[in-house]
């Protein structure tokens, strides 16, 4: 199951969830308590789930996430969360699978490495991983910098999705071609060992469809 928060402190050029902060989906955004969110998940999934991913936007900006994380703990729900690492919140140490995804140059955003250091140093290392999305050579160089800066943290590269229209011809084929190119590049590199290379799984399954 998936909970998406609204609002972000970044404006990434290729953001595939810009509707969470650009006003285009303001009629669909709801202010909900932790209990209301849990009830909505039960209505959708019944008791057929025990894992919830929280993403955004940037969930680290949202008041009330502490209550939601506490509620998931009480209900024995496994939690995953993704954030860009621009802000630390104490509840991050309660997340079972925390992904920090600093944004590369193609995003148009600039990562403050001192802030990123501070956020990472306050996190629980056994649940932490890093991910960088790759669109071009500059992104790949940025990913190497991040990997070498934090060599003991599990590190993922993810292929960027530049095809953001609602309907894209042969979308899966295009993404898999980019994925294969990135895999080949990492395999030929001696300074990107201990790196996992992944596609964006939900786009392979559902393309750019929302609400799935």
Annotated binding site for S-adenosyl-L-methionine: 14-16, 57, 101-103
- In angstroms, the Cα distances linking 105 to 48, 144, 182 are 40, 13, 17
Contact status, residue 91 vs residue 127, Cβ threshold 8 Å: no
**At 138, which helix (H) or strand (E)?**
helix 137-149
Task: Please give the angle made by the CA atoms of 192, 197 and 201, to the nearest 5 degrees.
Answer: 165
Contact status, residue 117 vs residue 89, Cβ threshold 8 Å: no
Annotated binding site: 4, 8, 12, 14-17, 55, 57, 101-103
Residue 75 DSSP SS3? coil
Phi, then psi, of 3 in degrees rounded to 5: -120, 120
86: Cβ contacts below 8 Å, ≥ 6 apart: 9, 10, 58, 60, 112, 115, 116, 119
């Amino acid at each position: 199951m998936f909970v998406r928060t609204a609002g972000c402190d970044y404006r990434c050029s290729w953001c595939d969830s810009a509707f969470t902060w650009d006003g285009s989906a303001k009629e669909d955004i709801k202010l909900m308590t932790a209990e209301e969110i849990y009830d909505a998940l039960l209505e959708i999934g019944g008791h057929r789930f025990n894992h919830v991913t929280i993403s955004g936007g940037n969930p680290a900006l949202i008041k009330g996430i502490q209550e939601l994380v506490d509620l998931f703990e009480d209900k024995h729900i496994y939690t995953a969360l993704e954030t860009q690492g621009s802000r630390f919140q104490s509840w991050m140490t309660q997340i079972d699978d925390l992904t920090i995804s600093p944004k590369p140059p193609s995003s148009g955003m600039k990562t403050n490495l001192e802030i990123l250091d501070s956020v990472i140093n306050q996190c629980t290392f056994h649940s932490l991983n890093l991910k960088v999305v790759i669109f071009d050579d500059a992104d790949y160089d940025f990913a190497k910098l991040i990997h070498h800066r934090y060599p003991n943290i599990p590190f993922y590269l993810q292929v960027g999705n530049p095809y953001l229209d609602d309907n894209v011809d042969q979308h899966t084929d295009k993404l898999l071609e980019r994925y294969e190119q990135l895999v080949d590049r990492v395999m030929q590199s001696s300074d990107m060992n201990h790196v996992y290379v992944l596609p964006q799984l939900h786009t392979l399954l559902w393309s750019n469809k929302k609400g799935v």
